[in-house]
Chain A
Amino acid sequence: DVKVTQSSRYLVKRTGEKVFLECVQDMDHENMFWYRQDPGLGLRLIYFSYDVKMKEKGDIPEGYSVSREKKERFSLILESASTNQTSMYLCASSQGNLNTEAFFGQGTRLTVV
């Protein structure tokens, strides 16, 4: 089974802190994604990576950056956390061919106070 593991299930950070959310997948998937999920807004793509060191902005990249130095690991960075970044963050991965599904990690509930 595919396993996507996010480093924290719950996280509380202060406004202005730099926050790192880590995601690791164990199935050698080429693609990795970071989404945030908010009530009434659904899943929104923050960033996508299709290979090591390669990234594309999603729908809402402002205030975020990402790092993919190794194939299995995709990190989301909040440069200066703000209260409007309080959300559920979901990492996902998928194989590099087109007819495959994305698998999700367990999610990180981030609260910025």
Chain B
Amino acid sequence: QKEVEQNSGPLSVPEGAIASLNCTYSDRVSQSFFWYRQYSGKSPELIMSIYSNGDKEDGRFTAQLNKASQYVSLLIRDSQPSDSATYLCAVRRGGSYIPTFGRGTSLIVHP
């Protein structure tokens, strides 16, 4: 049973559009949620973390968390070709230090 699920994509959006990336998780006691961006051949870098229900905005990025429905999403506004990458969702259950990663969604932003 995969604990963190992401659509592998690719998700293709035109430049300037909103990209919506989704992640569902199975463990109800999950408490910490993270989005990482990974360019091809590079290591993951943290974009955002979110710990409570609702929205959290940082520049063009908005993370949304709904614990009752067990999903977390990432919206990227005004998408740029430089946003083309794989986006990894990570979830950490309560009381654990270990993040569990989804397999990632490939995003392609075309000019």
Contacts and interface: CB of A to CB of B under 8 A. Distances in A.
Contacts of A45: 98, 100
Contacts of B34: 101-102
Interface residues of A, number: 23
Nearest to A59: B100
Given A48-B97, A94-B97, A98-B31, A42 B43 contact: no
B14 interface: no
Contacts of A43: 44, 88, 101
B92 to A, nearest CB: 7
A74 interface: no
A40 B49 CA distance: 24
A31 B97 contact: yes
The binding surface of chain B is classed by DSSP as: loop
A96 B97 CA distance: 8
Interface string B65-109: 000000000000000000000001010101111111111100000
A104 B43 contact: yes
Given A103-B46, A107-B42, A33 B102 contact: no
Given A41-B103, A43-B88, A98 B98 contact: no
Interface string A18-53: 000000000000010101000011110100101000
B45 interface: yes
A30 to B, nearest CB: 8
A66 interface: no
A104 B44 CA distance: 6
A50 B45 contact: no
Contacts of B95: 98
23 contacts: A31-B97, A35-B101, A40-B103, A42-B102, A45-B98, A50-B97, A58-B98, A90-B43, A90-B44, A98-B31, A98-B94, A98-B97, A99-B49, A101-B34, A101-B49, A101-B99, A102-B46, A102-B90, A102-B99, A103-B46, A104-B45, A106-B43, A107-B43
